[in-house]
A and B are shown apart, each in its own frame.
Chain A
Amino acid sequence: MRRVLLTIALLALSAGALAQLGTDWSGRLETRLGLESTGDLTAAGAEARLALDGEVGSEFFPTAAFRVELRAKTDAATDTADVRLDEAWARVFLNDGVIEATAGNQRHFWGSTDGVNPVDRLNPRDMSVPPDAEKLAVPMLHLRAWLEHDVNLEAVLIPAFVPSIAPGEAWRDEPTFASPPGTTVTEIRPLRDERPEASLQNLQGGVRVQWRPAGFDLAASYLYVYRDVPTRSAEAVPTGAPGEVAVQPVARYDRLHVVGLDGSVALGDVVLRGEIAYLFTDDPSGTDPAVGEPSFHVVIGAETPVPDGPRLVTQVILDGETKPDAPTTETGELDVAVRAMLVATYAANARTDLEVAWVHDLDGSGLVRPGASYTFADGVTGTLAGLVAYGPDASRYGDWRERTGAEVSLRVDF
């Protein structure tokens, strides 16, 4: 991978091309403070980003481009600090830009709907403080071809698996473990993380073809990836002493096939968007308890403006999963969860934007996220955001009730 990146970079930065090289520095400084209703801090830190973008070639379609972004972050509330290379890629434009080939750390977005994109499993996410889930840039080779008749084709190859960053302890549900009859648990061992190694047989990839004529767009996609969030299980391991077992938690990353369809259409004042994804593993019959079950996900949404009011996005989200084999359930029985989402955004004036997002699950739980941002000056933005969770225990969002709180941030883009 590194060799491919280097080759493309060298091609892009050949002596002749350097004469036409244009570069642009940009960055961001941000500081955040988050407080839960319990009085605990969820965030008290700062982040700095510095990016260098460059292009070689003509004004309209360059022959090559690159981007390198460094991010440094520290947070006293979670006692974390890290410096990492975020996006770092080189791109060549072939055949007058009809084909774009990009290698390096990248993030891409597939799908059509807002916030919830079941067809998109390209990048892992940073889920350390849910419900935020920013995509992480990871090494990949990305090809895009702009074909005739408003068709564009994407192909992605991901050479090394990178899992999502798991939710912090406060947000995590630990797997329950029932010890075998007649045994006593004497030890809980450290998690055994069985993440796939970088190898030819563990390659991930996918293709997407999109047709975007005037008025609507439609895309079909297929991904062969690893589940970025592990399927957790716990095994009982005899310790050698009679009647005693150790618990061995295991995190496995299932091979996943994702077949997707998404699109949008403008009908008068309304834009309709939708996505359908079917996910199945290499254990489609669901006989291996350590492998996740096949599932389907449907998102249907509509976006419309209210005259002199906010822009509304409404979505219905269906998540269906076949239940695993169990004495009390029939094989293949479907467990369907239904959520509704409403997002209202309103630009009160050139400086003030208001937004509220509400997700309600039919299990009676939900999340409300109000937010307001104000632009103090060019590139200087302050944001106040809240999170309210409700619902019974053991419901989708009910266990997050204590996480109800607010966060204030100040951001400078330059």
Chain B
Amino acid sequence: MTRIDRIDCRPAPRSVPRRTAALLLAGVLLLSAVPATAQTYETAEELIDAVAARPEPETLQATMEMVLTNPSGRTLTREMRTWARGDDMRVMKFTAPADIAGSGFLMIDDGAAQETLVYLPALDRVRRVAGGQRGESFFGSDFSYEDVEGIDPGDYAHELVEARDGPLYVVEATPKPDAESSYDRLVLEVPQDTLIPQRVTYYVDDEAIKVLTVSDVQEVGGYLLGLARRMETLDDGSFTMIRQRDLTLDEDLPDEVFSERFLRR
């Protein structure tokens, strides 16, 4: 199932789903004017299915700039390259600054199990990231490994909280008992026009701890993508902004890219 809210771009449909199009067409025929706030999805499942069913590129390559801003406004900048195939295979390698350049991250989810490996060139070691470590900061940023890996909708139970003008859907996602999540629940705000969650609030112990905001939504290679993601840690106000550029979509990536061999290279 398609993951949502991961830090690389998620595509939105180039056209609305066929069933949705049919409904809209029927509405146009029956009514002289369609309200701007016409609500297409009545339940959370319908909405999440639509989000998850968005067409997406088979593969993605991009350069990512990650800017970490501390509560006093001072920044640190990291740059990395990322390669992804579908939702379940991803490699990220830092290219700057010099003290972390060469560090890398590999995530593979074969359906039965998910494995996360980190390569630290100073130690020349590939280290395994255990389940409990997925909640730790991703290389000092406000994103955690879990945030980077993305959210598998199948791991969550969803409830439609409200539909605002736009329309904009507010959905609460609660991890299922067997899901390995460091969050108690998420609240997603999904605009109907893009089906890209534009804001996700992360809760632990009923307290909002982080907020992800997706912006700079553009059409690239026929896909609608959110190219900027901002994760804010609410208790201290620090935030991390990730911007993507130099995107290459749907270009073949060899299997070996998603391997320890490539991670070490």
Contacts and interface: CB of A to CB of B under 8 A. Distances in A.
Nearest to A212: B260
Contacts of A413: 97-99
Contact of A303 (B77, B130, B140, B257): B130
B129 to A, nearest CB: 8
B180 to A, nearest CB: 9
Contacts of A96: 256
Interface stretch (A191-199, A242-250, A265-273): A265-273
A347 interface: yes
Interface residues of A, number: 41
A60 B101 contact: no
A375 B76 contact: yes
Contacts of B129: 266, 271
B123 A97 contact: no
B124 A266 contact: no
Contacts of A61: 256, 262, 265
B256 A97 contact: yes
B70 interface: yes
B124 A379 contact: no
Given A60-B254, A215-B113, A305-B136, A266 B128 contact: yes
Interface in B183-238: 236, 238
A307 B134 CA distance: 11
Contact of A214 (B76, B113, B254, B256): B113
B147 to A, nearest CB: 15
Interface string B55-83: 00000000000001010000011100000
B165 interface: no
Given A60-B262, A350-B141, A268 B98 contact: no
A349 B133 contact: no
Contacts of A212: 260
Contact of A60 (B113, B142, B256): B256
A117 B123 CA distance: 12
B131 interface: yes
A325 to B, nearest CB: 40
B18 interface: no
Interface string A292-319: 0000000000011101000100000000
A369 interface: no
Contact of B238 (A26, A217, A350, A378): A350
A350 B70 contact: yes
Interface string A215-228: 10100000000000
Nearest to A25: B98
Contacts of A189: none
A351 B99 contact: no
A343 to B, nearest CB: 13
B219 to A, nearest CB: 26
A177 interface: no
B135 interface: yes
A214 to B, nearest CB: 5
Given A60-B257, A350-B70, A350-B76, A269 B113 contact: no
A268 B130 contact: yes
Interface in A68-123: 96-97, 107-109
B115 A215 contact: yes
B130 A26 contact: no
Contacts, number: 103
A28 B100 CA distance: 12
A304 B98 CA distance: 28
Contacts of B259: 146
A177 to B, nearest CB: 41
A164 interface: no
Interface in A125-169: 146, 152
A305 B135 contact: yes
Given A26-B101, A215-B113, A414-B98, A109 B123 contact: yes
A86 to B, nearest CB: 14
A60 B76 CA distance: 28
Interface in A346-381: 347, 349-351, 375, 377-379, 381
Nearest to B259: A146
A266 B254 contact: no
A400 B120 CA distance: 31
Interface in A264-296: 264, 266-271
A351 B137 contact: no
Interface string B124-158: 11011111110111001110000000000000000
Given A271-B130, A350-B141, A379 B70 contact: no
A96 to B, nearest CB: 8
Contacts of B254: 60
B261 interface: yes
Nearest to B133: A305
Interface string B238-265: 1010000000000001101101111001
B238 A264 contact: no
A381 B122 CA distance: 15
Q: Which are the 4 A-B pairs with shortest beta-carbon distances?
A: A269-B132, A413-B98, A413-B99, A350-B140
Given A27-B98, A271-B127, 19 more contacts: A26-B101, A97-B256, A109-B123, A212-B260, A214-B108, A215-B115, A268-B132, A269-B132, A271-B133, A303-B130, A307-B182, A311-B133, A349-B236, A350-B140, A350-B141, A378-B76, A378-B77, A379-B98, A413-B99
19 contacts: A26-B98, A109-B124, A146-B259, A152-B260, A212-B260, A268-B131, A269-B131, A269-B133, A270-B130, A270-B132, A271-B129, A305-B133, A305-B135, A350-B68, A350-B140, A350-B238, A378-B78, A378-B96, A379-B99
Interface of A: 26-28, 60-62, 96-97, 107-109, 146, 152, 212, 214-215, 217, 264, 266-271, 303-305, 307, 311, 347, 349-351, 375, 377-379, 381, 411, 413-414
